[in-house]
Amino acid sequence: MRRPLSASLFLLLTSVPAAAQLPATGTELRLWTDAAPLATGTGPEDTPAITVYQPAPGTATGAAFVVLPGGGYRARAAHEGEPIARWLTSIGVTAFVVRYRVAPYRHPAPLSDALRAIRYVRAQAKAWGLDGRVGILGFSAGGHLASTAATQFSAGDPAAADPIDRVSSRPDLAILIYPVITFTEDAWVHKGSRTNLLGADATPEQMAAMSSERRVTAQTPPVFLIHTTGDTGVPPENSLLFVQAMRKAGVEVELHLFEGGRHGFGLGEKEGPIGTWPMLGGLWLHKHGFAAPTMLTVVK
């Protein structure tokens, strides 16, 4: 049986500065050396972090992705974290799974964590042997967070005291898997995610500001989406609304809408044709120069 880390040991292990080379797979790195903005405590759930996953030696393309597991902004699903990172490394992409803050934390804490993860990886890229290209991938509510990062980024502040804050938080690509998108269309909204992120008393203006289909612009990066017609938890209209907004803005977008299916299938290994989405995603990543062509296989 594993014994829990004491608070002092947790702080000691996670306060170690980033190494001059990419840390080993499984290494956890705090996104802020000191307390994160808006933090109300000092435990793991108050301390945003990324966990490193390296491709096999000689296979890395230089590109990276940060991964946001879903969980309705109240948890982070394990099967949408490490397994996804290992799929990415199998096609040459260095991956970082984000421990972003969830309820009782509300907006803007999760977005702050996601944007910081992009900046952190980009700021360390040269030292880590990466080329500075950073994508973002999210599932369900993590997909909402990824879509928010892809539509509400900033260029960075050249005058910031923290060098990480000087670099852009714009992801180069985004992958959204059965994502929550809208907070305003009541027929399609995932109310649990909306309540956990904004509170039960959120105003119409707050809901509109966090509806990603309303925030797409020509500066939004290319996006790849997966959804199923049988998803009753987060209906596929969420992805369809986002695709329509991307088309209107003139930004490249690819959607695969599978017949039937369910919500929360992760890699989809036991879901029939849905399990081909990692291959499709790998092909899309290769088209955009992120993945190596000789490594494109369906993960089983």
pLDDT at 8: 37
| Token pair recorded at residue 97 | 């799974």
pLDDT at 292: 86
Beta pairing, strands 134-139 & 94-99: unpaired
Domains and CATH numbers, the chain: 32-295 (3.40.50.1820)
Q: How far apart are the first and last CA of the chain?
A: 29
CB 94 within 8 A of CB 22: yes
Candidates 244, 284, 268, 250; CA nearest to 135 is 284
Give the total residue count for the chain.
300
User: What pTM was computed for the model?
Assistant: 0.92
Distance, CA of 181 to CA of 235 (rounded, Å): 10
* β-strand partners of 255: 225
pLDDT in tens, the chain (300 residues): 434 444 333 333 333 344 469 999 999 999 999 999 999 999 999 999 999 999 999 999 999 999 999 999 999 999 999 999 999 999 999 999 999 999 999 999 999 999 999 999 999 999 999 999 999 999 999 999 999 999 999 999 999 999 999 999 999 999 999 999 999 999 999 999 999 999 999 999 999 999 999 999 999 999 999 999 999 999 999 999 999 999 999 999 999 999 999 999 999 999 999 999 999 999 999 999 999 885 445 444
pLDDT at 294: 56
pLDDT at 243: 98
Q: Where are the alpha helices (DSSP H) in the chain?
A: 7-14, 82-90, 109-128, 141-151, 191-198, 204-209, 237-249, 277-287
Q: How many CB atoms lie within 10 A of CB 288?
A: 17
pLDDT at 191: 97
What is each CA distance from 224 to 89, 107, 167, 208, 211, in whole angstroms?
Answer: 18, 25, 24, 23, 18
Burial of 191 (0-12, 13-18, 19+ CB in 10 A): exposed
